[in-house]
Amino acid sequence: MPCRYKKQRLRYILTLLKKQGSVKISSLVKVLDVTERTLRRDINDLVKTGHVRSCYGGAVYNHDNAFPLYENNSLYLHQNIIINQSKIEREISMNENNGKVYILGSFNTDLVYRLHRFPISGETTRALFSCCLPGGKGSNQAIASAQANARTYFTVKLGEDEFSTKAQHFLNGVGLEKLTIFTKSDAPTGSAVVMISEEAGDNVIVINPGANQEITSEEIISCYDEIGTANVFLTQMENNPDATAQAIKFAHAAGVMTILNPAPWRKEVTDLLRWTHILTPNLTEAEAIIGKAIRTPDDIRQAAEIMHQMGPQYILITLGKDGCWLFDGSTHQQFPAYPAVNIDTSGAGDAFNGALAARLACGENIANAIHYACVFAALAVEREGAANMPSHELVLKRLACTKY
Per the annotation, binding residues for K(+) are 344, 346, 380, 383, 385
Active site residue: 42, 45, 225, 350, which one? 350
CA dihedral 82, 86, 92, 96 (to 10 degrees): 70
- Please say if 328 is a catalytic residue: no
From edge to edge, which strands make up the β-sheet containing 202-208? 129-135, 108-115, 190-197, 202-208
* Spatial strand order in the sheet of 314-318: 178-184, 151-159, 100-104, 232-235, 257-260, 278-279, 314-318, 324-327, 332-335
| Residue numbers belonging to the annotated binding site for ATP | 282, 318-323, 349-350
DSSP for 55-82 reads: ETTEEEE-------SBGGG--BHHHH--
HSE-up (13 A, CA, CB side) for residue 255: 1
Strand pairing report for 314-318 and 278-279: parallel
Sign, Cα dihedral of 265, 237, 110, 68: positive
Return the SS3 of 381. coil
Per the annotation, binding residues for substrate are 108-110, 136-140, 238, 350
- Known binding-site residues equal 108-110, 136-140, 238, 282, 318-323, 344, 346, 349-350, 380, 383, 385
The Cα–Cα gap between 205 and 134 comes to: 14
Nearest-5° angle of CA 279, CA 315, CA 342? 75
Catalytic positions are 350
